[in-house]
Amino acid sequence: MPAADSISQIQLGQIPLPALYQALGTDGNGLDNEQAAQRLQRALANEPDSGRRSSLALSTLIKQFKSPLVLLLLVAVILSAFLGEVSDTLIIGCIILASGLLSFWQEFKAGQAVEKLQKLISQKITVLREGVEQIIDAEQVVPADLILVKAGDIIPADCRIIDSNELHVNESSLTGESFPAEKMAGQISIQTALSDSFNCLWQGTNVISGTGKALVVRTGGDTVFGKLRQSLSGNSETAFERGIRGFGYFLLQITTVLTLVILAVNIYFGKPLVDSVLFSLALAVGMAPELLPAIMTVAMSKAAARMMERKVIVKKLSSIFNLGEVTVLCTDKTGTITEGSVRVCDAVDAAGKSCQHLRQYAYLNAVMQQGFANPIDQALADLAIGEKGYRRLNEVPYDFIRKRVTVLAASDSGNVMISKGALESILAVCSFLEVGNNDSVLLDQTRRIALLGQYEAYCEQGYRVLGIAVKNTQLGHITRADESEMSFAGFLLLEDPLKPSSLASLHRLRELDVEVKIITGDNRFAAAHIARRLAIESGRILTGPDLDNLSEEAFGQRVMSIAVFAEIEPHQKVRVVKALREQGAVTAYIGDGINDVAAINAADAGISTDNAVDVAKQAADFVLIEKDLSVLADGILEGRKSFANSMKYIFITTGATFGNMFSMAGASLLLPFLPMLPKQILLTNFITDFPALAIASDHVDSQQTTGAGKWNMRMIRRFMVVFGLHSSFFDFLTFYILYFHLKLSGAAFRTGWFIESVVTELLILLVVRSRRPFLTSRPSRSLFRLTFAALAVTVILPASLVANQLGFARITLVEIAWIFGILIAYLISADLLKVRFFRKYEMGRQT
């Protein structure tokens, strides 16, 4: 008999169930809690990711030193040590190590914070242990467990089906087949392909409809999906990540050219080779935004923590920037526009008369169905009418093709089928019309038209309307084929009131320049009622059938003007999202059902809710604990703040840093000595980067969050040139004062320029952080404190005990006065230039 760990994917479906039970060491009745705990402990010990946390920390640390520029600098330091420059080697090595450790610590802490957030969202599964149903985390499922699955569940392991009822599973992630596969108990031949293994469930697939009981055979890395995980786990690059990559290439080109030119010129003029190499590489490191990954990670993790306070869980950090870029938000009305708490208003027959027996039918249908729980069934169950002698036999579960659920109930007077669902779907299986408790007439075309007229009237009043049909039968088990020749019993009238906050939330989103589009499966009459309540023009409503009649080109021209999409099928939701993206919109989509998954995947930012089906939560980038549009507005605002704070560091790097590096390059060509030692360049970079870490928590002016934040390389290049030249002007002014006016050279010159260089970068940090005048926007407390600390260190270093080792000399009061005057002029002119630059940019963007 094969061992459990040797069962192949074919054998999983081919081995008889008794042999499979024996191989797994079980009697087929499930495990007890102690057995499950022991098996879980063994599985975790054998899991290749068991040491994931320590390996992740190590990889994060190594990443800080993997930059080609840093690696080249380390080689140069080693060469310097080999030539006997011990003090320089130690100082430069310590600066590199300190920079790397600082970046690592920030990024590692941010990663831990996100890990804690993600633990709040866990996939659940129902198992049979000790003979009772238990809901556990899917990660705790072990071989030999018996699991119960229903619509919306993600399969947590490779399983063998024991029992099923109209079970259909989406296996597209493994087979590429988009049509759901029907699953049932049975046995297959050894030649059967994975896609045809009707008696098996595979990890990572999800249940579309129906219910089932299955035996867990393989978990974790032993599953088919586990073996393919590496190839399937690649995430698509976000818009912000593309921007970062483009910015990196841009800086790399400039840095490479600048470094090679300076190295060649210094060697040509006969300056020491090692000093020239170290100087050039230090310049390159000075140009590199090595703290950018850490700053972005910290900005995103802090935003994730703030969003958690607003009841939004972030699953993927980089998606925060995507959320900040959103210009169109697509949402269903239930739970976002409306309260989401369905209330049963009435159950009426074809004559419009309220009937208690219809309530009884609806209640029985709700409490006896086991395939797909939803708010409507919960509302009906809350009626607590009682089953009054009825008992459940079986059901035909709800699915999104039939749009109805049918239960078979037994009573002393016989068996009865009760169907509940969308009116058209119910009428499609009805041949008769109930006109009393026991009487019925033929449901002819005239009566059908009359029923549809009643339906429209109820919908226009704002009700959500479902149909109820019944059929007496002698059957003890039913299938889809038995849903025929039924009698239409009446209408179920439901109400989901508009949220009091909906209008205010929509207004706030419009203020953020985000347009909301409602995508609902409800009929056009209910959609028109909601549109009227929200002051949306009736001409901005499009129905699913009308959408199907539009070509891609015609729909693309209309999609931005439509505010409400009604009678929409799941595949049409994807079409709407894709059409919006093709028109240049950055889209977010909120969904909580199986029929929303494709649209969640298609959107730039996928959003689900805490009570959504597992497959929807897995597909989403964000999970809302509270389903409310105002929460989304907060999330979009946080995304824009994170983007704005990250861009501040970009501007500083491309402005002051480029200017200082350009000035250093020019001075090294004009002066008979190196204007700054390599260790001083790295020290400048370290001191100025230290307060930059606080940018992640800095305040953001409201004008920077009114529109979606987007990468603009043209503006970044222009900013680099304008502010780089501005910075270089004051650097060369400093050169002139120090070298020609004060007659300084060597250590004295380097000290004066070191102070001017560091302080100008610290000042530009405070200037560029806001697009408003410097004195009208206050930085965060942490940014101000770190900047002040860096300023103090800069001033103290030339008078410290390590001044000689760092190549500094004491500075006189006259030098201090000249440098102070230059810095004041720099601060005032930089602030005026900044205001004018961004004002001109804003005007250009609006035209």
* Per-residue model confidence as pLDDT tens digits over 767-809: 988 888 888 888 888 889 999 999 999 999 998 888 888 889 9
Query: Which pLDDT band holds residue 2 (cuts at 50, 70, 90)?
Result: very low
Average pLDDT score over residue span 495-506: 83
Average pLDDT score over residue span 701-713: 77
Burial class from Cβ neighbours inside 10 Å (0-12, 13-18, 19+) for residue 127 reads: buried
Res 475 pLDDT > 80: yes
Question: CA–CA separation, 546 vs 124, rounded Å?
Answer: 39
Instruction: Note the pLDDT of residue 51.
Output: 46
Calculate Rg over the CA atoms of the chain: 34
Minimal CA–CA distance to 406: which of 420, 416, 392? 420
Instruction: Note the pLDDT of residue 72.
Output: 52
Q: Are 301 and 110 in contact (CB under 8 A)?
A: yes
How far is C-alpha 190 from the geometric centre of its chain's CA atoms? 41
Cβ atoms < 10 Å from Cβ of 592: 27
**DSSP, residue by residue, 676-728:** S-HHHHHHHHHHHHHHHGGGGG----GGGSSS-----HHHHHHHHHHHHHHHH
Question: CA–CA separation, 282 vs 274, rounded Å?
Answer: 12
Query: Which pLDDT band holds residue 736 (cuts at 50, 70, 90)?
Result: very high
Question: CA–CA separation, 269 vs 672, rounded Å?
Answer: 9
The pairing of beta strand 587-590 with beta strand 605-609: parallel
Question: CA–CA separation, 238 vs 325, rounded Å?
Answer: 11
Percent of the chain topping pLDDT 70: 82
Model pTM? 0.69
Helices (H) and strands (E) in the chain, counts: 31, 23
Q: What CATH number matches the domain at 312-339+499-625, 3.40.50.1000, 3.40.50.10470, 3.90.245.10, 3.40.470.10?
A: 3.40.50.1000
* Per-residue model confidence as pLDDT tens digits over 45-61: 665 544 444 555 666 66
Question: CA–CA separation, 370 vs 357, rounded Å?
Answer: 22
Instruction: Note the pLDDT of residue 22.
Output: 87
> What is the architecture of the domain spanning 4-55+122-232?
Distorted Sandwich (2.70)
Instruction: Note the pLDDT of residue 40.
Output: 86
Question: CA–CA separation, 531 vs 492, rounded Å?
Answer: 23
Question: CA–CA separation, 673 vs 751, rounded Å?
Answer: 14
What is the chain's mean pLDDT, rounded?
A: 81
Instruction: Note the pLDDT of residue 229.
Output: 55
The CA-CA-CA angle for residues 228, 231, 233, to 5°, reads 95
Question: CA–CA separation, 54 vs 306, rounded Å?
Answer: 27
Minimal CA–CA distance to 353: which of 431, 432, 437? 437
Instruction: Note the pLDDT of residue 203.
Output: 86
pLDDT top residue among 556 and 846: 556
Res 409 pLDDT > 90: yes
Instruction: Note the pLDDT of residue 358.
Output: 92
* Per-residue model confidence as pLDDT tens digits over 77-111: 665 566 555 555 666 567 567 666 765 665 566 55
Alpha helices in 326-374 (DSSP H): 356-368
**Using N-to-C axis directions, what is the helix angle for 239-268 and 713-735, rounded to 10°?**
30
* Per-residue model confidence as pLDDT tens digits over 126-167: 999 988 889 888 888 999 899 999 887 889 889 999 998 888
Neighbouring residues of 303: CB distance < 8 A, sequence distance ≥ 6: 314, 320, 638, 639, 641, 642
Catalytic residues, by residue number, are: 332
Question: CA–CA separation, 371 vs 149, rounded Å?
Answer: 9
Query: Which pLDDT band holds residue 231 (cuts at 50, 70, 90)?
Result: very low
Where exactly are the structural domains of the chain?
4-55+122-232, 240-304+638-846, 312-339+499-625, 349-492
User: Could you confirm whether domain 349-492 is CATH 3.40.50.410?
Assistant: no
Helix (H, G, I), strand (E, B) or coil at 21: helix
Average pLDDT score over residue span 641-648: 82
Neighbouring residues of 15: CB distance < 8 A, sequence distance ≥ 6: 2, 7, 23
> What is the architecture of the domain spanning 240-304+638-846?
Up-down Bundle (1.20)
Query: Which pLDDT band holds residue 482 (cuts at 50, 70, 90)?
Result: very high
* Per-residue model confidence as pLDDT tens digits over 332-348: 877 678 776 788 999 99
